[in-house]
Chain A
Amino acid sequence: MTAYILRRMLSVVAVVWAMTVLVFCIVHLLPGSVAHMILGEFATDDAIRLLEARLGLNDPLATQYWRWFSGLLRGDFGLSLTMERPAGPIILEALGRSAILAGISIVLVATIGIALGIHSAVNKGSPSDHALTLAQYFFIAVPEFFWCILAILLFAAWLGWLPATGYTPLAEGGLLGWGRHLVLPVATLVLGLIAHVSRMVRSSMLEALDSQYVLAARAKGLAERIVLYRHALPNALLPAITVLAVDVGLLIGGIVVVETVFAYPGLGRMLVYAIDNQDLPLMMGGMIVVTCVYALANLAADILYAVLNPRIRYGGAAT
Chain B
Amino acid sequence: MLGRRHLPRTLTIGSVVVLLIVVLAALGPWITPYATDAFAVRERLQAPSAAHWFGTDEFGRDVFSRVLAGAHYSLLMGFGATGISLLIGVPLGMLAAFHRGWVEELIMRGVDLLISIPPVLLGLLILATADPGLFKTIIAVGVVYVPIMTRLARAVSLSLLAEDFVDAARARGDGAVRILWREILPNAWPPIIVETSLRITFAILLGSALSFLGLGPQPPASEWGLMIAESRPFIEEAPWIGLAPGLCLCLLLVMVNIVGEGLRDLLDPRLQGRGHG
Could you tell me which A residues sit within 8 Å of B by CB distance?
A: 11, 15, 18-19, 22-23, 26-27, 30, 32, 37, 137-138, 140-146, 149-150, 152-153, 157, 210, 248-250, 252-253, 256-257, 260-261, 271-272, 275-276, 283, 287, 290-291, 294-295, 298
Contact = CB atoms under 8 A, between A and B. Distances in A.
A195 to B, nearest CB: 10
A298 B124 contact: no
B121 A143 contact: no
Given A30-B130, A145-B209, A210-B274, A22 B116 contact: no
Contacts of A149: 228, 231-232, 235, 242-243, 246
A314 to B, nearest CB: 26
A253 B256 contact: no
Contacts of A275: 124, 127-128, 215
Size band of the B side of the interface?
A: 35 or more
A146 B249 contact: yes
A32 B208 CA distance: 27
Contacts of B232: 149, 261
B119 A249 contact: yes
25 contacts: A22-B117, A22-B125, A23-B125, A137-B254, A137-B261, A140-B201, A141-B254, A141-B257, A142-B253, A143-B249, A143-B253, A149-B228, A149-B246, A153-B236, A157-B236, A250-B118, A252-B118, A253-B209, A271-B124, A275-B124, A275-B127, A283-B128, A291-B116, A294-B118, A294-B121
Closest 3 CB pairs of A and B: A253-B120, A141-B253, A249-B118
B117 A291 contact: yes
Given A137-B261, A146-B246, A146-B249, A153 B116 contact: no
Main secondary structure of the interface of B (DSSP, over half): helix
Interface string B104-128: 0000000011001111110011111
Contact of B212 (A23, A249, A257): A257
Nearest to B201: A141
Nearest to B247: A146
A19 B116 CA distance: 9
A145 B229 CA distance: 9
A131 B128 CA distance: 41
B254 A26 contact: no
Nearest to B129: A30
A141 B256 contact: yes
Contacts of A152: 235
B93 interface: no
A276 B124 CA distance: 11
Contacts of A137: 254, 257-258, 261
A210 B273 CA distance: 12
Given A141-B256, A257-B213, A153 B239 contact: yes
A248 B121 CA distance: 12
Contacts of A257: 120, 209, 212-213
Contacts of B120: 252-253, 256-257
A143 B258 CA distance: 15
Interface in B193-209: 201, 205-206, 208-209
